């Protein structure tokens, strides 16, 4: 399966008379784009803002991030099975507007899974979005469920972001990209002798799928991830839009749709393919609420890894708490099967760092990479807010609480509430220090 990703780096964004790209400048027709957003009758008000690194701007509540792109050949639509008819992702050519993103912010209402991004100040570099220009869709809806419930589906706003990302991406469909990344991973039995002699490695992905109610979980080709069993997939499918982030889980522990599209861990494994490893592919697994479901998926994922000849594995857990049980069980099972395994997740060690990092632990899980402590405390200085900062305190945001926002616009917050800040997808925004 061969995928070409054409890159169009965005150095700046401006509003203008037409939506176009030239020499690193993305020009956006505001009214044209807002018309795309308003295709959903539930969106009652909407605006677009452009923010840059260093702007004294705070975004809250942030609901989603999407890379703006379009499909040139080999399929239809950038989110097959979701915003376009079902077809296989991962083949042909896709053009992407890189080094920027589309963010979705609630005009008023936030919730458990919504977060905060600072574009300046001491926490600017705690997320990847603080270091890139962003187009920000700020919108409100009329659905009372979305206003009153702590755990929101954010359906209207998330789907508006996907439609908008594809609409904007069309402006580079017929242009020549600055560079092209080629992802060409042949079938397992078609690889050369040198590659087959290298240790086979799989990426085991555990996206957030533990909600039994529909509308919250990660979508795989539009299919609710709660309803799947472990599946072997080609990594190109992930790079080409088969996954859409769900609307559940404390926000710092989520993986956004943008991160699934760009996917630094998949790209890193690809870079080592044929050099130090034989990258076999992706085992798409799940996170489940019940113990029998957890162990069923773990056993099936292990069987897939053995069947394709894995000698090593990277296990990526989205979230923490209940999912830690699935995560630890997967690590233990793969090690039992003789597969050398590392785990990638964040941890919850309390504000003093003295708590147990994962709900479930086992001596076999002795090669873990942590991406951050969800309980780390932040003191936020006042700055301009796009959205509504009070949502952090009022609407059940996982990092805020009643009284955490001060009258002068400053606030106290746990890392729990910073949008996708732990970047479990593989972006390395933090370092470890020994004292």
Each residue of 2-40: pLDDT tens digit? 999 999 999 999 999 999 999 999 999 999 999 999 999
The answer to whether 208 and 318 are in contact (CB under 8 A) is yes
pLDDT at 346 over 80: yes
Q: State the pLDDT at residue 428.
A: 79
pLDDT mean over 94-116: 97
> What are the residue ranges spanned by the domains of the chain?
2-417
What is the number of helices (H) and of strands (E) in the chain? 10, 24
Which pTM was predicted?
A: 0.97
- What is the Cα–Cα distance from 178 to 290, expressed in whole angstroms? 48
- Check pLDDT > 80 for residue 397: yes
Average pLDDT over residues 112-123: 97
State mean pLDDT over 254-279. 97
Q: Which two tokens stand for residue 337?
A: 């099967």
pLDDT of residue 431: 73
- 3-state SS assignment for residue 71: strand
Residues 104 and 64 sit within 8 Å (Cβ to Cβ): yes
Per-residue pLDDT, 36:
98
pLDDT on residue 429: 79
Average pLDDT, the chain: 96
Residue 435 in this model has a pLDDT that exceeds 70:
no
Q: Please provide the distance, in angstroms rounded to a whole number, between the alpha carbons at the two ends of the chain.
A: 47
Contact 95, 177 (CB under 8 A): yes
């Amino acid at each position: 399966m061969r995928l070409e990703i054409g890159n169009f780096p965005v150095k700046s964004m401006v509003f203008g008379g037409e939506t176009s790209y030239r020499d690193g400048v993305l020009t956006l027709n505001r009214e044209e784009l807002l018309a795309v957003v308003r295709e959903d009758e539930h969106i009652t008000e909407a605006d677009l803002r452009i923010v840059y690194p260093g702007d004294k701007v705070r975004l809250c509540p942030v609901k989603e991030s999407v890379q703006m792109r379009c499909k040139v050949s080999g399929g239809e639509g950038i989110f097959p099975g979701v915003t376009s008819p079902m077809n296989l992702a991962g083949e042909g050519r896709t053009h992407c507007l890189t080094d920027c993103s589309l963010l979705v912010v609630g005009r008023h209402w936030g919730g458990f899974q919504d977060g905060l991004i600072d574009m300046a100040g001491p926490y600017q570099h705690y997320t990847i979005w603080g270091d890139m220009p962003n187009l920000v869709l700020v919108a409100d809806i009329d659905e009372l469920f979305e206003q009153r419930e702590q755990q929101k589906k954010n359906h209207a706003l998330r789907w508006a972001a996907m439609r908008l990302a594809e609409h904007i991406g069309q402006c580079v469909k017929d242009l020549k990209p600055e560079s092209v990344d080629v992802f060409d991973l042949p079938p397992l039995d078609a690889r050369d002798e040198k590659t087959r002699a290298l240790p086979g490695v799989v990426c085991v992905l555990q996206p957030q799928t533990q909600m039994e109610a529909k509308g919250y979980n990660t979508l795989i080709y539009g299919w609710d991830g709660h309803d799947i069993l472990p599946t072997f997939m080609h990594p190109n499918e992930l790079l080409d839009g088969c996954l859409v982030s769900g609307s559940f889980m404390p926000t710092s522990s989520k993986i956004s749709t943008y991160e699934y599209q760009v996917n630094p861990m998949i790209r890193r494994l690809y870079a080592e393919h044929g050099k130090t490893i034989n990258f076999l592919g992706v085992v798409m697994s799940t996170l489940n609420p019940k113990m029998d479901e957890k162990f069923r998926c773990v056993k099936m994922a292990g069987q897939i890894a053995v069947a394709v000849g894995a000698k090593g594995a990277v296990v990526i857990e989205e979230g923490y708490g209940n999912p830690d049980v699935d995560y630890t069980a997967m690590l233990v099972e793969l090690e039992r099967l003789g597969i050398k395994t590392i785990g990638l997740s964040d941890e919850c060690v309390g504000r003093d760092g003295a708590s147990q990092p994962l709900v479930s632990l086992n001596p076999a899980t002795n090669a873990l990479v942590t991406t951050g402590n969800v309980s780390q405390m932040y003191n936020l200085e006042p700055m301009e807010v796009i959205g509504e900062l009070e949502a952090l305190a009022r609407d059940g945001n996982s990092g805020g609480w009643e009284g955490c926002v001060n009258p002068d616009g400053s606030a106290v917050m746990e890392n729990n509430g910073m949008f996708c800040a732990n970047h479990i997808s593989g972006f390395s925004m933090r370092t470890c220090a020994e004292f």
